Structure 1
Amino acid sequence: MNKSRHGLIRSFKAVVGGLVIMLSQPLLAELPPEQQAIFKAATKRSENVNLGDLINNIDRQQTKGQAMIDGTVDRSAEIAMSQGDGKAEAEQRAKALCKARTRYIFASRSLGKQALSEIFAEASASPELTVVFQGIPKGTKLPKGFLDLQQLASEFDPVPSIALNPLMFQRHEVSAVPEMMALTEGEWVDRECRQEIRTRVAGITSMRYLEEHLDEGDLGQRGPIQDISEPNLMETIAQRISEVDWDAKKEQAIENVWNNVPMYPLPPATENRIIRIDPTVQAQRDILDAQGKVLVSAGTRVNPLDIQPFNSIVIVFNPLRESELEAAEEMVKSYVAQGQKVIPVLSEIDKTEGWTMYNNVAKKLDHRVYMLSPDLKQRFRIMRTMSVVRASEGFFEVREIRTDM
């Protein structure tokens, strides 16, 4: 009964007093390879979906990937797959819990409010004791799933330690409750908490009884027990993740991306004119190299075009205006034929047509097109369409062209 087994689970811990739910990321390493693959795939799919490369290398767009996984799955998978700096923090937390937590009562809501109240009272009187659950009621979202336990636990002072740890239920094959367990101090090896069972007994919730029979092994059932009413949380998550139509979600995200793309309905140029922009900047302080030598002294004026030539031609136009679209088509073909690097930029498109219009414009120009970004608009002071930007004699030259003549 005390045989350990790996399950499709991650370990949660409710912080004493606050019941803040945490899932220890390092325990992912304990899962079999095929189960790790499920969660890793889910993580990639639930992260922000970056569709910018499909639209524009200047202004990369992102969709809200969290919409891909609804409700409990979304929330739990995010916690289970803690990223970045959270990994190290989660592992340190797991190490501390591994060593400190050695006394547990496995419980379930199937025991009823009165029995749970007695268990919480026992845990309140014994700070080293943790009450552990394997899940939340079926159909309940994660925050609400702990609300009833929080209300019940808040009646005690100090507040008992409560954890949501489905992994322990599977590892120790706990299928009925209550069951008490005394474990050895944990050893953190290969990102896994290794503990041996000193004593386990089913049907008993007395800390005194557990300590009196310490190191006596499996004592079996010594009191009434109940089946566990809550489904295993992580198995539920894994099942719901596997049921998500990721292709449909991806298509939906792609279709909705245009709602997040900024559009600039700039007025059309009413005359042909040229605006010259001096990109020269003045150093506010000395600029030093790695050895501390002054490369550029404070007060020095520098023109970036003297350092890095700008050889592209940027054509900003509104494809909703037929005259501008036709003019852009001719310009692109002409410049490409001359060997020039061209960047066609759209100020706006009809969002209701979305990808259809975007792709049609690219096809018509026979060239990749981009969307106007706030940075590009500000840098080149784009105020009207169409505008053609190029470098000339140390200046940026913005040529506004009237196309409706």
Structure 2
Amino acid sequence: MSGLPAYSLPCQSERATLVSALLLLLSWLATPALAQDLGTNGPTYAIAEPHLLRDLQHRLQAKQASGELDTLMARSRERAIASVRDPQPIEGVAATRTPRTFYYDPTFTLDRNVLDAQGQLLFAAGTRLNPLDVVSLSSHLLFFDGRDSRQRDQARRLIAHYEGRVKPILVAGAYLDLMQAWRRPVYFDQHGRLTRQFGVTQVPALVSQDGARLRIDELETTQ
């Protein structure tokens, strides 16, 4: 249509950058500041509320012009990379002081009916099932602290002893660095889900299948 100004939409990368910048600015605005009562000086007037988006845009432009925006974005990237390269250690897990062996039964009770694709009943609610009756644990699970050189060395010996049939899982340390050094997959127990599930409180800990149960050995660290 003639007579109307033409506008071009920002490309995807520009929109992503703008969204990231706005999120950073919002987090900056949400940072608490110290307040101080300076009293009243001169006549007061009602404050007209500025348009929120216009105010954010002005603040964003000011921070971009001063270079503060680039600094905030760089810090955000550094924090994200650090959290991936070196996750927070799992709480409640420490180096083994008293070796022990215990067992975990993965049997669970269905809380609802399980149907097949045709709607036929496969398993009724209340049925007790054990996943190990259907699928075997193909590899040992080895939990250890990647920051401890002795535990790292012990993990390599165990991997060699079981001819590679071991999944190394860190509870602390930089798993990406270890993966690159060992040239094999290394995992991290995200949020401590597995250690809590199995009841592991000491590492190194080796999890192996023993019939319909899992055997868990919290091992003494060896030289």
Q: What are the equivalent positions in structure 2 for 1:246-325 lying under 5 Å apart?
A: 246-247=73-74, 249-255=76-82, 261-264=88-91, 265-271=93-99, 273-325=100-152
TM-fit CA distance, 1:300:
2.5
- Contact 1:46 1:74 (C-alpha < 8 Å) held by counterparts: no
TM-score (norm 2): 0.67
2:60 matched residue in structure 1: 237
Identity %: 22
- Contact 1:283 1:298 (C-alpha < 8 Å) held by counterparts: yes
1:380 aligns with 2:203: no
TM-fit CA distance, 1:239:
7.1
1:40 matched residue in structure 2: 16
Distance 2:158 2:203 in 1: 14
- Contact 2:102 2:216 (C-alpha < 8 Å) held by counterparts: yes
Greater RCO (Cα-Cα under 8 Å, separation 6 or more): 2
- Contact 1:277 1:396 (C-alpha < 8 Å) held by counterparts: yes
Distance 1:164 1:256 in 2: 33
- 1:104-147 CA deviation, whole Å, 9 max, x = no partner? xxxxxxxxxxxxx9xxxxxxxxxxxxxxxxxxxxxxxxxxxxx8
- 1:126-178 CA deviation, whole Å, 9 max, x = no partner? xxxxxxxxxxxxxxxxxxxxx8214xxxxxxxxxxx96686xxxxxxxxxxxx
- 1:52-84 CA deviation, whole Å, 9 max, x = no partner? xxxxxxxxxxxxxx4xx2359878xxxxxxxxx
1:70 aligns with 2:70: no
Summarize the Cα distance change of 1:74–1:314 in structure 2 as closer, same or farther, 3 Å threshold.
Answer: farther
- Contact 1:389 1:398 (C-alpha < 8 Å) held by counterparts: yes
Distance 1:332 1:366 in 2: 13
- 1:222-258 CA deviation, whole Å, 9 max, x = no partner? xxxxxxxxxx864763675585434564234323668
Summarize the Cα distance change of 1:256–1:317 in structure 2 as closer, same or farther, 3 Å threshold.
Answer: closer
- Contact 2:103 2:215 (C-alpha < 8 Å) held by counterparts: yes
Distance 1:360 1:233 in 2: 40
- Contact 1:267 1:384 (C-alpha < 8 Å) held by counterparts: yes
Kindly provide the amino acid, as one letter, of the partner of residue 237 in structure 1.
Answer: L
2:159 matched residue in structure 1: 332
Distance 1:259 1:70 in 2: 26
Summarize the Cα distance change of 1:253–1:241 in structure 2 as closer, same or farther, 3 Å threshold.
Answer: farther
Structure 1: runs of 5 or more not aligned: 7-30, 48-65, 76-116, 118-146, 151-161, 167-231, 350-354
1:399 aligns with 2:222: no
Give the CA RMSD over aligned residues. Answer: 3.9
Matched position secondary structure for 1:328: helix
TM-score (norm 1): 0.41
- 1:172-216 CA deviation, whole Å, 9 max, x = no partner? xxxxxxxxxxxxxxxxxxxxxxxxxxxxxxxxxxxxxxxxxxxxx
1:368 matched residue in structure 2: 185
- 1:271-290 CA deviation, whole Å, 9 max, x = no partner? 3x432222112234433335
TM-fit CA distance, 1:386:
1.1
Q: What are the equivalent positions in structure 2 for 1:157-236 lying under 5 Å apart?
A: 234=57
Kindly provide the amino acid, as one letter, of the partner of residue 318 in structure 1.
Answer: D
- Contact 2:85 2:176 (C-alpha < 8 Å) held by counterparts: no
TM-fit CA distance, 1:4:
4.4
Summarize the Cα distance change of 1:304–1:346 in structure 2 as closer, same or farther, 3 Å threshold.
Answer: same
- Contact 1:39 1:238 (C-alpha < 8 Å) held by counterparts: no
1:92 matched residue in structure 2: none
Q: For 2:169, which of 342, 345, 349 is the aligned residue?
A: 345
Structure 2: runs of 5 or more not aligned: 31-44
TM-fit CA distance, 1:378:
1.6
Summarize the Cα distance change of 1:384–1:46 in structure 2 as closer, same or farther, 3 Å threshold.
Answer: farther
